[in-house]
Structure 1
Amino acid sequence: MTLLSKSEFAARRGWAKSYVSKLAKQERLVLTDDGKVDLEATEALLAESSDPSKSAVAARHEEARVERDVRSQLEPAAATPAVQQPGKGLDFQKARAHREYYLAQLAEAEFHKVQGNLVERNAVSDAAYSAGRMVRDLMFGLSPQLAPELVAMTDPWEIEKHLTTAFRRVFDDAIRMSTSDLEQAMTQS
């Protein structure tokens, strides 16, 4: 038989003290003569007297408690030691809240990925590298193509027009090719 005060029982279950007082008024707590809560008997009584149709509400409240605990983990208190003291057991609730937080982050990232707002970084990086490499190669390929044509020209205006047309053609080709490569890379992930 484990005996706890009402506030200790509330803290153990993650409930507000007012809710434990409400349970006492409803005679859903097994109390000793001195007002202590018999833990095992109370948990058995609560399991017997719980309304199965309220399981969704209980789950929602449990989720809210986990979320509240996650926020408390994100704002470290001054009294909380940075490193766990040896000899103390692991805090299951903190570990669970930590896990739930990262599962929520993972679910949010997956949602954004499905919506098309998020893509794999490696795919975009590879596509950007390929596009840059392609533009570089196209630009360096212009020299052997244009040299014979430019040798015969003497008018600076004609040379400029010819170079501008060649550059525009290369950049237009690069845009078409890199756009299709980028779309392909994003849809592969």
Structure 2
Amino acid sequence: MTDPLFLSKSAFAARIGRTPSYITWLKGNNRLVLSPDGKQVDVLATEALILETADPSKAAVAARHQQDRIQRDVLSQITPLSEATSTAAPPQPAGAKAGQPDFQKARAHREYYLAQLAEAEFHKVQGSLVDMKAVSTGAYNAGRMLRDQLMSMPPQLAPELAAMTDPWEIERHLTEALRRSLEDAERMSSADLEHDLITSS
């Protein structure tokens, strides 16, 4: 196991090529691991913590700064972080708070669901995705209206059919009545569904 490496805050700032105010910012954001006496910076643990909680959208900038530091031989005495972490996740730094949030996972989780929402909104605008509640309500109303319309036919048709004796004439009369009723139901249910979709959007 690598022995801890401790530096003063100003020396650590110089090591990573940042200003002392950045070290103060790290401390305020719980990203600075100090020695047991609280006077020096635990270099390896702090670098691992910074890497673990880094913003993924700034990875390219961080990589460029890392390369610059390597070229200036600031890290000539230790293995560069890019090599140390290429095959394994960084270890939990000593002194870091338990339950430290994983910024990268949280950011990826958030971006995934924002993308899902954007895709759903796109399909809704294109007309290939509709509100499920509106469709369910429209389907229920259409079914209920069709049922009521069909159930109202026997009282209307009974007097007309009672006077008929020709089976073919009765069949034609029933077919026409059913067709009219279904066409009326189709027009009304389409209008109701369109209204439900408009009011829900």
Q: TM-score, normalised by structure 2?
A: 0.58
> Which piece of structure 1 moves more, 150-159 or 115-124?
115-124
Aligned length: 137
1:1-189 alignment runs, 5 A limit: 1=12, 2=41, 3-4=43-44, 11-12=51-52, 13=54, 15=59, 22-24=67-69, 27=72, 31-32=74-75, 34-35=77-78, 87-189=98-200
Q: 1:160 to 1:177 in 2, by over 3 A?
A: same
Contact 2:146 2:182 (8 Å CA) reproduced? yes
Contact 2:69 2:75 (8 Å CA) reproduced? no
The one-letter code sitting in structure 1 at the alignment partner of 2:137 is D
Q: 1:10 to 1:24 in 2, by over 3 A?
A: farther
CA RMSD of aligned residues (A): 3.1
Contact 2:138 2:193 (8 Å CA) reproduced? yes
The one-letter code sitting in structure 2 at the alignment partner of 1:89 is Q
- How far apart are 1:123 and its partner, in Å? 0.8
Contact 1:10 1:20 (8 Å CA) reproduced? no
Report what 1:53 is aligned to: none
Question: 1:47-93, CA deviations, whole angstroms, 9 ceiling, x for partnerless residues?
Answer: xxxxxxxxxxxxxxxxxxxxxxxxxxxxxxxxxxxxxxxx4333222
- How far apart are 1:32 and its partner, in Å? 4.9
Contact 2:70 2:76 (8 Å CA) reproduced? no
In 1, Cα distance between equivalents of 2:50 and 2:63:
9
The runs of 5 or more residues in structure 1 that have no matched partner are 38-86
Rg larger in 1 or in 2? 2
Query: Percent identity, aligned pairs only?
Result: 53
Contact 1:119 1:186 (8 Å CA) reproduced? yes
The one-letter code sitting in structure 2 at the alignment partner of 1:146 is L
- How far apart are 1:8 and its partner, in Å? 5.0
- How far apart are 1:174 and its partner, in Å? 0.7
Structure with greater helix share of residues: 1
Which structure carries more relative contact order (alpha carbon 8 Å, separation 6+)?
2
